[in-house]
Amino acid sequence: MDHDPQFQKSRRGFLGGLGATAAGLSLAQAGAARAQAKPDPAITEIQDWNRYLGDGVAANPYGKPSKFEKGVVRRDVEWLTASRESSVNFTPLHALDGIITPNGLCFERHHGGSPEIDPSKHRLMINGLVDKPLVFTMDDLKRFPGRVNKVFFLECAANGGMEWKGAQLNGCQFTHGMVHNVMYTGLPLKVLLDEAGVKTNGKWVMPEGADSSAMTRSIPIEKAMQDCLVVWGMNGEALRQEQGYPLRIVVPGWEGNMWVKWLRRLEVGDQPWHHREETSKYTDLLADGRSRRFTWIMDAKSVVTSPSPQAPLKHKGPNVLSGLAWSGRGTIRRVDVTIDGGKNWQTARIDGPVLPMSLTRFYVDFNWDGREMLIQSRAMDDTGYVQPTKDELRKVRGLNSIYHNNGIQTWLVRSNGETENVEIS
Amino acid sequence: MSKFRKAAGLALFAALVTAPALAGKVGLGREALPEEVAAWDIDVRPDGAGLPPGKGSVGDGEQLYLQQCASCHGEFGEGAGRWPVLVGGQGSLKSEGPEKTIGSFWPYASTTFDYIKRAMPYGNARSLSDDDVYAITAFLLNQNGIVKDDFVLSKENFSKVKLPNEQSFYDDDREKAERHFWQKDPCMKNCKPDAKVTGRARMVDVTPEDGKSIKVE
């Protein structure tokens, strides 16, 4: 993956090209370590944590992040919605690294609040065009052969939806935070459908939630059989309540709304249902007044998470630019980064697992001389899709689409390190 | 472990992993009873599949709507505060502020019935009778100018109700309409003469501030 020869080459290309296209980020700045006049009291004074005993083992039966990380939390935008039970909050992407999103920081989107479901009373029903309608308990599912573990991103189709008309929110948590990346544990949907026996005229599958919105979506049978999962585990533990405990469906690469949480039923039918979340919502209104429907796939997208408005640059000299790229069509092949608003681009270094339909982490190690920068990133996937600019997207879709905004994000880094969400020509 | 016992152990394991399969089935789960399927399978499709027996008039729907829905969706479906708007918006879809309602945007009337029956009133789902849902659906169709004041909606006449925006929907065509986003070699050097800031989130100033509107789970 990472050893793709083409990638190796472009990685070297970046270092080579640095001097030519990004003269201000000179390597010469990274010279000798700075001299220190007075001894550092953090070293010369004995600290409390060095003298006194720390917490015992039972202090936190379920461990929590350090109190110094208390700002790293999901946040919501109050004016967006009328009620918190039908609302959304955002993953703090600017403060995270690697590719896996910690369970407690995965963004939430509910349509009728997050229900507390007793797993001993939870059932999964399969009905409709099947040979034998079935009911499973959670125990039945956990005894079922064929369990798998797979990493996938989940992105809400409305991620970036507030930015269609122009830059609105200052922070990649708010502009891009309706995405998370998790390793799921469960069963391929196919094995459960096979157990019920899908009739030959069964062409669509409708997952339904047990919550007060009883969420429903129509999924074509090919996708259901190909790679959808029915899962009870995330990142090694049970699903969190707000992520669908005790059971949810995983629809890799497709918009998050289809990943029905608190999954209680799968119906097989011969036509799509055209329910509220695939008509009134999650359809893309274009400039001519017509609308695309069944726009399930999340196209390739990327964002620089640091520097970003909530993670400004604090130091000149060596710095690490970092970001995320993903594609619902497959695997990220390359990410390019510009610091001059798209005049010149360099290929970023990808690190960590490079998996299909998963967040992929990229870095550019650079030296900053305090110049103003217009930073963007551009993702490419293995189908050859190249993340478009926002203006290229608007040209095709107009300004009223709400959903599927995968346009290139621009951050303006000012000479004092402050970083802003901007749009450029 | 003797050679013999090891071999016996392996045989046992082999027997375990090739559990007797009934016609290729695992045999977990049980058959769903008709009453159980009926309790959950309430979904309705545009062709009317799934509609329960029953009927309701615009007049009855108005009474029910005023009692159970108007506090959020407004007396005339105009939406109170930020709660969803259900009525109006015809002719607005190409404008700067499109209003997507049952009358202006939704392709199928069945969606209204299905959604109200499964999820409304908000916070008290599944509390309406089927006749109530027919009546409220009839009222919302009437408010959107789709059926007359004396209309009675029923399982029998449901699929004759057509919504005006149905033909405006078409299947995802990004792979054709946006073919130009698939490129071999995106530009790397001297791609444009200039890059000027044209808009700033700061000017809009709607970002939640630190410490404000934080929701810690």
- Domains, chain B, in order of start with CATH, read 44-164 (1.10.760.10)
Last residue of a domain, one of A263, A292, A321: A292
- Give B2→chain A minimum CA distance, Å: 31
Q: What CA–CA distance (Å, rounded) separates A277 from A281? A: 5
Is A399–B96 a contact, with Cβ atoms under 8 angstroms apart?
Answer: yes
Which of B85 and A22 is assigned the larger pLDDT?
B85
Give domain status of residue A325, yes or no.
yes
Summarize the confidence of residues A390-396 as an average pLDDT.
97
From A412's Cα to the closest Cα of chain B, the distance in A is 8
End-to-end C-alpha distance for chain B, whole angstroms: 54
Phi, psi at residue A98, to the nearest 5°?
70, -160
Angle between the B109-119 and B130-143 helix axes, to the nearest 10 degrees? 130
Tokens 């016996």, residue located: B8
Amino acid (1-letter code) at residue A349: R
Give A9's pLDDT tier (boundaries 50, 70, 90).
very low
Three-state secondary structure call for residue B57: strand
Q: Are residues A237 and A329 in the same domain?
A: no
Tell me if A36 is assigned to some domain: no
Are residue A341 and residue A407 in the same domain, yes or no? yes
- Best of A18, A108, A223, A279 to disrupt the B interface (most B CBs within 10 Å) is A279
Do A281 and A310 reside in the same domain of the chain? no
- A292-312 pLDDT, tens per residue? 999 999 999 999 999 999 999
Interface mutation target, options B159, B210, B215, chain A, most CBs of A under 10 Å: B215
User: Binning pLDDT at 50, 70 and 90, where does residue A7 land?
Assistant: very low
- Between vectors from CA A298 to CA A296 and to CA A304, what angle results, nearest 5°? 160
Are A335 and A401 members of one domain?
A: yes
Residue A313 has pLDDT above 70, yes or no: yes
The verdict on a CB contact (< 8 Å) between A386 and B41 is: no
Which residues from chain B sit within 8 angstroms of residue A83, using beta carbons? 122
Residues A283 and A326 in one domain: no
Q: Does the residue A416 lie in any domain?
A: yes
> In terms of domains, do A318 and A270 share one?
no
Bridging pattern class, strands B197-200 and A332-338: unpaired
Cβ within 8 Å, pair B47-A424: no
Structure tokens at A124: 């999964």
Structure token digits, residue A145: 């052969």
Do residues A323 and A393 both lie within one domain? yes
Q: In this structure, is the dihedral angle defined by the CA atoms of residues A275, A281, A287 and A292, taken in order, positive or negative? A: negative
Q: Does a structural domain hold residue A230?
A: yes
For residue A214, list chain B residues with Cβ-Cβ distance below 8 A: 118-119, 125
Distance from CA of A47 to the nearest CA of B (A): 30
Same domain, yes or no, for A109 and A219? yes
| Number of independent structural domains in chain A | 2
**Chain A nearest CA to B1, separation (Å):** 30
pLDDT of B9 strictly over 80: no
- Per-residue pLDDT averaged across A127-135, rounded? 98
Among B43, B125, B217, select the one facing A212 at the smallest CB separation.
B125
Q: If you average pLDDT over every residue of chain B, what do you get?
A: 90
pLDDT (mean) for B199-210: 79
Asked whether residue A128 is assigned to any structural domain, the reply reads: yes
- Give the pLDDT confidence of A21-68 residue by residue, as tens digits: 443 444 334 445 678 899 999 999 999 999 999 999 989 999 999 999
Domain boundary among A242, A261, A292: A292
Considering only CB atoms, which chain A residues are within 8 Å of B100?
280, 285
Contacts of A171 in chain B (CB under 8 A): 207
Query: Domain containing A417: what range?
Result: 301-422
Q: Which of A292, A325, A354 lies at the terminal end of a domain, its last residue?
A: A292
Contact flag B201-A127 (C-beta cutoff 8 Å):
no
Q: Closest chain A residue to B168 measured between Cα atoms?
A: A290
Q: How far is A203 from chain B (nearest CA, A)?
A: 14
Q: Are residues A203 and A286 in the same domain?
A: yes
**pLDDT surpasses 60 at B2:** no
C-alpha–C-alpha distance, residues A370 and A129, integer Å: 64
Query: Whose structure tokens read 């080579």?
Result: A16
CA angle B127, B131, B133 (to 5 degrees): 60
Under DSSP, the state recorded for B177 is H
Rounded to a whole number of angstroms, the distance from the CA of B164 to the nearest CA of chain A is: 12
CB contact under 8 A, A73 and B216: yes
Query: Which amino acid type is present at position A33?
Result: A
Q: How far apart are CA A266 and CA A204, in angstroms?
A: 10
The count of CB pairs under 8 A between chains A and B is 260
The answer to whether residue A275 sits within a structural domain is yes
Pair A313, A201 in one domain? no
Asked if the structure places residue A25 within a domain, the reply is no
| CATH number, domain with residue A333 | 2.60.40.650
Query: Is residue A43 situated within a structural domain?
Result: no
Of residues A144, A206, A292, nearest to B26 (C-beta)? A144
Statement to judge: residues A286 and A211 lie in one domain: yes
The reported pTM is 0.92
Determine the Cα angle at A290 with ends B155 and A207, to 5°: 50
Confidence of residue A269 (pLDDT cuts 50, 70, 90): very high
Q: Which of B94, B123, B198 sits opposite A423 (nearest CB)?
A: B198
A225 in the same domain as A181: yes
Q: Is the pLDDT of residue B168 over 60?
A: yes
Coil, strand, or helix at residue B22? strand
What CATH number should be reported for the domain holding residue A193?
Answer: 3.90.420.10
The ipTM (two decimal places) reads 0.89
CB A90, CB A80: distance < 8 Å: no
pLDDT at A29: 44
Q: Indicate which of B36, B43, B78, B203 best probes the interface with A, i.e. most A CBs within 10 Å of its own CB.
A: B43
